[in-house]
Amino acid sequence: MKRMDLVRSAAGAIIAHPMRSALTSLGVVIGVAAVVIMTSIGLGAQQRVMGAISGLGSNLIIISPSASRSGFVAQAAGTDISITGADAEALAKQLDGVVAVAPSVRGQAQLAAEGTNWNSRIEGVTPDYLIARDLSIGQGRMFDDREARQGRTVAVIGTTVARELFGEADPLGKRIRVGGSPFQVVGVLTPKGQSGFGQDQDDIVLGPLGAVRSRVVGRRVKGDAVQTIYLKTASEKDLDRVQEDATNLLRERHRIREGQDDDFQAQNMASILKASEAATQTFTILLAAVAAVSLVVGGVGIMNIMLVAVTERTREIGLRMAVGAKRADILAQFALESVALSLAGGVIGLLIGVIGTVILAKLAGWPIAIASWAAPLALGFSVLVGLVFGAYPSWRAAQLDPIEALRRE
Amino acid sequence: MIAVQDLFKIYTMGGEPLAALDGVSLSFDRGAYLSVTGPSGSGKSTLMNVLGGLDRPTRGTYTFEGEDVSGLDDDQLAHFRNQRIGFVFQSFQLLARQTALQNVELPMIYAGVSPKDREDRAIQMLGKVGLSERIHHRPTQLSGGQQQRVAIARALANSPDLLLADEPTGALDSATGKDVLALFETLNREGLTVIVVTHDASVAARAKRQIGFEDGRIVLDKVLRP
Ligand SMILES: Nc1ncnc2c1ncn2[C@@H]1O[C@H](COP(=O)(O)OP(=O)(O)O)[C@@H](O)[C@H]1O
Ligand SMILES: [Mg+2]
């Protein structure tokens, strides 16, 4: 039997019972739609987390005070700050393969300028901070090391702050009060937009480390302490080595003995990425597995209706055999019918899945992420479901005795 | 020549063996027109099924134009039915979802004939049985006699050597039945070998040779016409 005749006969059989075919395919429709939506959600989550993490800056090592440094009493990160500006200077001097070392303190502060108020994040940093965090100046300039050392009250602001405080006016040279202390705006950052975590990265004020620490966040950060030290390495392959060197150096400087816990923690982007990638991948696979179960349920529905079809069409099978159909022809006919039912469900399910994903993404404000393998996977799966669950009914059809079959009422 | 020799078909019913065919030998040449009569359950259909390659005898030989049909496997038998045999059934056995044309094309699909040739041939055969005006009708839109003529056109599709009709007029009124028989006679005159199973003595009398069956045995073999 020619391929086209098989296809036509399968299509004819499906169209002969449109309602029944539709209901039968529904299981696969739902299954495939679920697979597509679930994997898309998984992938979307993965991409958002990745974007968020890599948005912090590339080739970055983040050193922060340890969350729990003293035995039983777990302390919130940063309440007892263990890393200092001196640590940062030592790291900068003694480590190889480091492009930027940027100590930072930060807080939330009320801003005021020309009668307008705005609440924003303020971060006390050194000029290296821009390099470490992959930021750049859009207008004006960054304060320099000398200004930072001298504790000059100058600031670089993000575009959101500029807009909220000054509207369309040029902010350069203007004064703003940061938590009561006056700072002069010397530069505006190039806008970065929302971070992957949903934070407006342009809603920020950067000031010299010393000035911000003493005037804005002084109550929480004592002496030379800093809350974070950012280390940027020359290349990704340096990350692990530099992190190890930095850890050793800090342990030495903090006089931590062998066997004792660090009083700081160092994390690099690559390892965070890897960990979260693994986590979201597990999540995606789990979602896909749940969806695959519904595909199996759809397959059982197909098997059921194919068995009904074989029974109903016993006489047709007998007649086809009488006029020359081989058992393989009958097998192929019913297998193809089953695959066609399943595949039709798969195509519709794929469409619904894609539309559903787009709607979900719109509603949740996510970027649309549909895996490139979603379509081949979904269609491949529906063909497989049709074959597997059509196999037994088709085999039954092919095994019929033509005389018995023709005699059936 | 087509010949069966010492044909047995034994069914075991509740432990008791039942011979549907009990040592049947029969031979006939190309162009023969046989009628087979006999009471219900005497083995007429069983013989037709064996001759048509739908069934295998328990014992005995079957040669068809020098070919040993008894030795064929399932696929070879399917091919044999497709190429050599045309079946006409009492209940027509048309596919309800398909048009007359598509029903007639069916044997040619399994013969691997191209769609174009299939259609041409099917139209030609439907013309031969007088249904040129009805080729796109479905079985439900046709009378019984018309349906049986579609079935005959289908039986002729692959130019068989042997036409087997098992009570072809059983479901038809007598006038329509006569038309169908007239069609068989025409086909036979053109050289087709025809075997008709019937209850009806007047139908049987129209054949060239009459075979009588009883309890799986041939009890009558009479040449009616040359
Ligand atoms: N599949 C079967 N199993 C058991 N007995 C059968 C089967 N097919 C036919 N028979 C028996 O074989 C005998 C001949 O049947 P059949 O050839 O159909 O007779 P006819 O066509 O002359 O009425 C009957 O007694 C019938 O019951
Ligand atoms: Mg019978």
Per-block mean pLDDT, blocks of 10 residues, chain A (409 long): 76 86 90 86 78 75 72 43 85 88 90 88 90 89 85 89 88 88 92 74 90 79 84 86 89 84 82 77 79 86 94 95 96 94 93 92 79 85 93 96 91
Q: Domain containing B166 — which CATH number?
A: 3.40.50.300
- Would you state the pLDDT for residue B82? 97
The verdict on residue B139 lying in a domain is: yes
The whole model's pTM is what?
0.74
- Write down the ipTM of this complex: 0.96
Cα–Cα distance measured from residue A12 to residue A333, given in angstroms and rounded to the nearest whole number? 11
Nearest-by-Cβ selection for A326 from B75, B106, B109: B75
- Would you state the pLDDT for residue A78? 42
Give the minimum alpha-carbon distance from A326 to chain B in angstroms, rounded to a whole number.
6
**Exposed, middle or buried by CB within 10 Å (0-12, 13-18, 19+), for A136?**
exposed
- Would you state the pLDDT for residue A197? 64
- Would you state the pLDDT for residue B114? 92
User: Which range among A213-227, B87-101, B120-134, B159-173 shows the weakest confidence by mean pLDDT?
Assistant: A213-227
Instruction: Pick the residue whose CA is nearest to atom 8 on ligand 1.
Output: B46
Cα–Cα distance measured from residue B96 to residue B74, given in angstroms and rounded to the nearest whole number? 27
Host domain of residue B207: 29-58+73-223
Cα–Cα distance measured from residue B165 to residue B143, given in angstroms and rounded to the nearest whole number? 19
List phi, psi (to 5°) of B162.
-140, 125
Cα atoms found within 13 Å of the Cα of residue B181, Cβ hemisphere only? 24
Q: Give yes or no for residue B49 CB within 6 A of ligand 1.
A: no
DSSP structure class, residue B132? G
List phi, psi (to 5°) of A252.
-65, -50
Cα–Cα distance measured from residue B171 to residue B198, given in angstroms and rounded to the nearest whole number? 11
What type of residue is A406?
L
Query: How many residues in total does chain A contain?
Result: 409
Q: Which long-range contacts link B144-149 to residues 24+ away (Cβ below 8 Å)? A: B144/B92, B144/B171, B144/B172, B144/B173, B144/B176, B145/B172, B145/B176, B145/B177, B145/B179, B145/B180, B147/B92, B147/B94, B148/B88, B148/B92, B148/B172, B148/B176, B148/B180, B149/B179, B149/B180, B149/B183
- Would you state the pLDDT for residue A289? 83
DSSP structure class, residue B54? S
- B interface mutation test: which of A1, A323, A400, A407 has the most B CBs within 10 A? A323
Cα–Cα distance measured from residue B78 to residue B99, given in angstroms and rounded to the nearest whole number? 24
What type of residue is A58?
S
Contacts of B125 (CB under 8 A, 6+ apart): B104, B153, B154, B156, B157
- Per-domain residue ranges for chain A? 3-52+275-407, 81-262
Average of per-residue pLDDT values in chain A: 85
Nearest by Cα to A330 from B49, B78, B11: B78
Contacts of A77 (CB under 8 A, 6+ apart): A64, A65, A66, A67
Contacts of A159 (CB under 8 A, 6+ apart): A138, A188, A189, A191, A202
How close is the Cα of A408 to the center of ligand 1, in Å? Answer: 14
* Inter-chain residue contact A323 with B54, CB threshold 8 Å: no
What confidence tens digit (pLDDT) does each residue in B30-43 have? 999 999 999 999 99
Tally of structural domains, chain B:
1
Instruction: Pick the residue whose CA is nearest to atom 24 on ligand 1.
Output: B41
* Inter-chain residue contact B75 with A16, CB threshold 8 Å: no
The verdict on residue B122 lying in a domain is: yes
* Inter-chain residue contact A324 with B83, CB threshold 8 Å: yes
- Would you state the pLDDT for residue A81? 66
